[in-house]
Amino acid sequence: MKQVFTRTRITATLMAAAFTIASCGGAAQPTGTSASTAAPAAAAATTAPTAAAVAPAPKGTLVLLVDTVSGSIGTTDEEKAMYSCVQKNRFPQGEPIVWRVRVLDGLSGKALDDKGLKAVELKLPDGKMQAMKFGAHPKGKTDDYFWATSFKLPLDYPTGAFKYGVTATSVEGLVGEYSQFNVASAMLQVVKAGSR
């Protein structure tokens, strides 16, 4: 038994050595060539022009922080202070949904603005993409800076889950995506007009 094991081990070792030599360019010379003629041919093969240089993949990640808030359309001056820019995920038909997005560089943790990002887009339930804009908020003030967009729900918009996503693309080509948890009760909901 020990002799069979030793032969198997020696055979496996020899096969591994043969594969290593072949994969590392140590294969035998083709018939009719010598080491002196094979070397220039190998050098020519390695310096032959390549089709197209492949750009290295961008390094890092993008982290998206996304929330939805109420808009100020349809509110009185007194209501604006109470209902404008309030986080929520239930929106009545006929009212706007406002998205706020902050995109962070996953390596440094720094927020990226319109100089570091090529685009930030909202994907609506019908698949249409809507560009987000970077700027100061609230309107007319400089309390904070982030990406935002809105979508006014038509009065006849179907009630129920409103499935959306957000995609950010950096100037280097990094892409970050956000999607809601796939739990119906936790998704953004469209409710009947007049509901809160």
pLDDT at 142: 83
pLDDT at 137: 86
Q: 75 phi and psi, to 5 degrees?
A: -110, 150
pTM score of the predicted model: 0.68
pLDDT at 164: 97
**Is residue 100 within 8 Å of residue 66, measured between CB atoms?**
yes
pLDDT at 51: 52
**Is residue 95 within 8 Å of residue 152, measured between CB atoms?**
yes
**Is residue 91 within 8 Å of residue 191, measured between CB atoms?**
yes
pLDDT at 174: 93
Which parts of the chain sit beneath pLDDT 70?
A: 1-58
pLDDT at 29: 39
Q: 99 phi and psi, to 5 degrees?
A: -105, 135
pLDDT at 60: 83
